[in-house]
Amino acid sequence: MLPLPRGPAAGLIEAVGPTAKTPEDVAARIRTVLKYVRPERLWINPDCGLFETPRWIGVAKLRAMVAGTHIVRQEVGAA
């Protein structure tokens, strides 16, 4: 098995709360973290589990997280 790269994980969407952030909101948070962490070291994830979040809200939050990540990857040339 190949070793996984290790680096800091940034919890960029709140699991609690009835609304999802936009992809642009997530991208802005990622840009802030990238001031301190190299892009190839950064892991993007929710701030905690989504088990208490209604499924439709959880899916919207995860989609925003993925779309925001794609925005920043294109900006830094890691797409």
Question: DSSP H helical segments within 1-79, as ranges?
Answer: 23-33, 55-76
pTM for the structure as a whole: 0.84
What number of CA atoms fall less than 13 Å from residue 6's CA on the CB side? Answer: 1
What does the mean pLDDT of the chain come to?
88
> Is there a contact between 76 and 32 (Cβ–Cβ < 8 Å)?
no
- pLDDT tens for each residue of 13-51: 888 888 888 999 999 999 999 999 999 889 999 888 888
pLDDT at position 79: 56
